[in-house]
Amino acid sequence: MKGRYELIVPCHFGLEAVLKKEITDLGYDIVQVEDGRVTFLGDEEAVCRANVFLRTGERVLLKAGSFRAETFEELFQGTRGIPWEELIPRDGRFWVAKASSIRSKLFSPSDIQKIMKKAMVERMKAACGCEVLPETGHRYPLRVFLHKDQVTVGIDTSGDSLHRRGYRTLTSKAPITETLAAALILLTPWRKERILVDPFCGSGTFPIEAAMMAANIAPGMNRSFLAENWTNLIPRKCWYEAVDEARDLIDNKGETDIQGYDIDGDIVKAARANAEAAGVGHMIHFQQRPVSALSHPKKYGFIITNPPYGERIEDKENLPALYRELGERFQALDSWSAYLITAYEEAEKYMGRKADKNRKIYNGMMKTYFYQFQGPKPPARKRAQGQTS
């Protein structure tokens, strides 16, 4: 069935505008922007390109339908009314992988999952003319959102979340996800000709995502997706064409000044390995170095980082000194900008100045702040020439 679909892309709360711009830049029309997700129109090709190219979305869902349900009977009937036989083959394996409910009368995820599965089975059995569905074929997991009694049903085309680029095999204690790191970089004015330093680089996510942007490497080009097997909906050639397009756009020969430091030598080794796996090892300089040694001879650079914020009580007492040190090193960097995401609410106090902007972002269920300390823009001539000295 060739058609025009509504595609739903969930994202971190607070970063919907970044994702919207990404989708628009891919050439697609936005249908709706809601808390934590963006919906757009696209065809089979769009499913593939969104999975391969989007840096800030969590997954790509093919919208199966939406309806209102205040009772379980309405949920059953609404689910049964969706033409599942047009979306899932006779032997397809289907289930509600996740159900979330906000301000709705139906709120039990397990009950929602069971009732919707039962309704789907009834519809599929009637459409296929069989008593028992084999469910031996490819997987078609559903994700369901209930908001103010409105039910939205999507089939997950991605499988593993899109933050799993495939390069990060080794991680630090509190890694930031690739999708969140990419979104935060896109919220800054950083460009590939500018300096970027992460003094708390951990497994290297900020430097690696920045380098991938600089080299124009599509984040999903080296991984697989669940919908690659959905030949009833998406011809395999659409996937090949999306990856071919991504390969043609790579430009990793330009010079960059991207650096990552960490006090833990083993973590620095892991970051280097991750960068090599991402194809950007030659573009990043990783070094074992404490934040007290943060320095750079050039102007107009960027600090973009995810410093510790004391998840454990015993770590909290170290935070004032750590943020004070970061603030002192930042102030010593002439004309630089600093961007940090942290749950530590006294970050500004110990950084020594109030942030020019402060954006609240939910990292999972944790409320964090994206503090933005903006430096001056480089002179127009230097911007045009891509110089930073």
Report residue 169 as tokens.
């095999």
Q: Is residue 389 very low, low, confident or very high in pLDDT (cuts 50, 70, 90)?
A: very low
pLDDT at res. 1:
42
State how far the Cα of 44 lies from the Cα of 4, in Å rounded to an integer: 8
The pLDDT assigned to 366 comes to 86
Structure confidence by residue, pLDDT tens digits, 59-115: 999 999 999 999 999 999 999 999 999 999 999 999 999 999 999 999 999 999 999
C-alpha 233: how far from its chain's center?
Answer: 25
How far are the Cα atoms of 14, 160, 227, 343, 368 from residue 362, in angstroms, in the given order? 7, 20, 28, 10, 6
Sheet holding 284-288, edge to edge: 284-288, 258-262, 196-198, 302-305, 337-342, 366-373, 357-363
Could you report the per-residue pLDDT of 72-81, keeping only the tens digit for each?
999 999 999 9
Report residue 139's pLDDT band, with 50, 70 and 90 as the boundaries.
Answer: very high
Q: 267: which 2 tokens? A: 């973590």
Q: CA dist 367 to 65, 155, 322, 341, 359, Å?
A: 32, 29, 21, 10, 10
- Sequence-distant (6+) residues with CB within 8 A of 125 are 131, 132, 133
How far apart are alpha carbons 222 and 162 in whole angstroms? 11
Compute the distance between CA of residue 322 and CA of residue 242 in angstroms, rounded to an integer: 44
Task: Specify the pLDDT at position 172.
Answer: 60
Distance (Å, whole) CA 385 – CA 102: 50
**pTM of the predicted model over 0.85:** yes
Contacts of 200 (CB under 8 A, 6+ apart): 261, 262, 291, 305, 306, 307, 308
Torsion of CA 239, 156, 215, 308, to 10 degrees: -160
What are the φ/ψ torsions at residue 126 (nearest 5 degrees)?
A: -65, -40
